[in-house]
Amino acid sequence: MRLATWNVNSIRSRLDRVVSWLDRADIDVLAMQETKCRDDQFPTERFEEAGYEVAHTGLSQWNGVAIASRVGLDDIEITFPGQPGFDKDAETSLLAAPIVEARAIGATCGGVRVWSLYIPNGRALNDPHYTYKLEWLAALRDSGAQWLTADPRTQIALCGDWNIAPTDDDVWSPEFFRGKTHVSQPERDAFDAIVATGYADLLRRFAPGPGIYTYWDYTQLRFPRREGMKIDFILASPALAARAKDAMVDREERKGKGASDHAPVVVELAD
């Protein structure tokens, strides 16, 4: 099985590119983030024509996650247990409860429980969104640990844009990012806490070291200057990690007109 994750940064803007890549890269399952559309706007037919079933959740032009699979798509779950919501005006809001955003969708594909996750950005260290991000990650850690406790043999892939660079090797300049989100110690600790429950970072296993990035800002010629960040990951449960043969970043998909600012991460799994 070839499993991939990709922040597509608007599926309607990059539909041709994504569908073409699925065929060229021979992908069985793709977890997508930032689809940026409602469910009724998602181009399901194009994926079905290409041989894929699709599950999607999207509430507006922001966020949105999806899974496309040609090896089955069962037991679809929107949000994970305990997933927190966000209300930027919490102190003055009339909302009964914060809105649970379209940031997580799970489905079983060819025997693997695949989650497409778009972790909150955080925005700034003093922003309410940063607190929300840490709460979101803590809830994911708890759910992820419970899944492994319930069945240590379960095959789970936590795929997505984590908006965290876990080490200094994962950014082009630690000094540039000092005092900003994505690299703060609480965020890194939250990522490590999920790994500590038993999930393996497959990209780090097969492509370690500095200079391997998954995201490059559109500004300041970041991509041609190789000034990127590694913030997209596939974390695998022990049983799934045992099947992993390879993992890589398809940097070519960040090139050319109309590219997403993220590149796909691809994992090769043994049968």
Taking the CB of residue 248, how many other CB atoms lie within 10 A of it?
17
Indicate which residue of 28, 52, 56, 118 is catalytic.
118
- Written as one letter, the residue type at 260 is S
Which of 134, 118, 165, 2 has its CA nearest to residue 68?
Answer: 2
Token pair for residue 213? 């990035």
Indicate which residue of 28, 213, 232, 262 is catalytic.
262
- Taking CA atoms, 250 is separated from 124, 196, 271, in Å, by 29, 27, 22
Whether residue 129 lies in the annotated active site: no
Whether residue 161 lies in the annotated active site: yes
CA distance 75 to 90: 33
Indicate which residue of 28, 161, 170, 232 is catalytic.
161
Whether residue 151 lies in the annotated active site: no
**Cβ burial 70-106 (10 Å sphere, 16+ → b, else e):** bbebeeeeebbeebbbbeeeeeeeeeeeeeebbbbbb
CA distance 32 to 6: 5
Q: Where are the alpha helices (DSSP H) in the chain?
A: 15-24, 44-49, 128-150, 174-177, 185-196, 202-206, 238-241
Residue numbers in the known binding site for Mg(2+) are 7, 34, 161, 163, 261-262
CA distance 163 to 222: 17
Residues known to be catalytic: 118, 161, 262
